[in-house]
Amino acid sequence: MSPTPTALERLVNPAGLPTLGLELPLDNDWGHSRLRADRAAGRPFGVPDLTRHTELARLADTLGFAALWVRDVPLYDPEQFGDAGSVFEAFTHLGNLAAVTERAVLGTGAIVLPLRQPLLVAKAAATVDVLSGGRFVLGLASGDRPVEYPLFGEDFETRGATFRKGVDILREAWATRASGRGMSLPDLGPGAGRHLEVLPKPTGRSVPIAIAGHAQQSAEWIARNADASLNYPRPLGALRLKTREWQQLTAGAPKPYLTPMQLDLTEDPAAAATAIRLGLRTGREALIEHLREMGALGVGHVSFNLRPGDRPVEEVLGELAETVLPHFPAPGLAPAAEADPVTAL
C-alpha cells in the first residue's frame, strides 16, 4: 500500500501543471455591481457576505478544487486597508472547514505569526492537521499592518526576529521525542527534563509550513526553513525570475512554489486576458493558457480569489470545474467535470 500523500504532495502535480485552489471568502464583493449595491445600502467596503460560507466550501470541495485558503486579518481597518479578509478567526474557521470538507487541502494565507503566541499556534495548527486527516498547510507571514502591532504588545520594526523565533518554537513543539524527554526551549525557561509537550502531534513529522512573501527574511533563510514558498502574484516575466531563484535555492531538495491570484472570469470564454490588481480579468481559454505558462515556470499551485468578479460565485465555480480543472488535475482527486454545482449544494 502506497503511503498517504502529505498536504503539500496533494498540491503538486508531477506532470508540472499547477493544481488549482480557492481563497476564501467565496464572494464577489469587489465586483462593480456589488460595490454599487453596497454603497447604495451603506454597507462597508471589504466585508464579504458569509451567509453561505459552509455551502460554498462544500461545493468547492465536491467540485474538485485542490485547496481552500483562509486569510488572517486580526483587525478590520477600513481607513488604511479596507479589507476584512476571511473575517472569521482563522483556526476556528479551519476547524469548521475540516468538518465540512473531505478532499481539499486547507491552508492559511497567511497567519501573522508575530501577533500570536507560537505555542498556541503550534497547538491550533496540529489540531487542524489531525482533524482534517493531514490536509493542512500552515502559511505564515510577518504581517504588514503597523497599526496592529502595539495593540498586541509587539514591535512592528522587530517583527522579522520575532518571526524567526516563532518558527523555531513551532518546529520544536511539533517534534516527536524519545520517551522521557520534552520540549527544549531554553529562551522560554523549560528544558527537556521538564517533559512539557504540545499535543496533539501532527499526522506527519511536522505541519508543513509555507512562508508568505519575504516575511522580513532572506531568501536563503526561507529556502532552509520553509517547506514551500507562498508568494505574491506577478506578471510572467517577473514570475520567471522569482521561480528561478526559488529553484536554485532549493535545488538540493525541491520545494513547491505556491501563489494566489485574483480572478475575474468573464462570461465570454474567448475574452483576452488583461491585468487587474494582483491577477487577471480573462475568459477561460486565455486563463488555461496562462496557467500552463505558470506551470512551465515552476508554479505548483494557484489559488483563485474571486472577489473582483461580478458573476455569481457558484456560476464561476461551476465553469472552472467543468472547463478548467480537468486541464490541471490534483493528485488523488478524481476529475470534477461530472459534478453538478446545483445538486452539489
| Domain boundaries of the chain, sorted by first residue | 7-327
pLDDT tens for 261-295 read 999 999 999 999 999 999 999 999 999 999 999 99
% of the chain residues with pLDDT over 70: 95
Mean pLDDT of 218-242: 97
Helix (H) or strand (E) holding 54, with range, is: helix 53-63
3-state class percentages of the chain: helix first, strand second, coil last, to nearest 5: 35, 15, 50
pLDDT of residue 331: 86
Of the candidates 180, 278, 198, the one whose C-alpha atom is nearest the C-alpha of residue 238 is: 278
Q: What fold does the segment set 7-327 form as a domain?
A: TIM Barrel (3.20.20)
Q: Are 66 and 301 in contact (CB under 8 A)?
A: yes
Q: Write down the residue that cell numbers 513529522 correspond to.
A: 205
Q: Are 123 and 95 in contact (CB under 8 A)?
A: no
- 90 has which bridge partners? none
Task: Verify cis geometry, omega within 30 degrees of 0, for the bond prior to 251.
Answer: no
Instruction: State the pTM of this model.
Output: 0.94
The band of 4, judged by pLDDT with boundaries at 50, 70 and 90, is confident
Q: Are 27 and 313 in contact (CB under 8 A)?
A: yes
DSSP type of residue 30: T
Question: How many beta carbons lie within 10 A of that of residue 294, not counting itself?
Answer: 25
Of the candidates 202, 77, 87, the one whose C-alpha atom is nearest the C-alpha of residue 138 is: 202
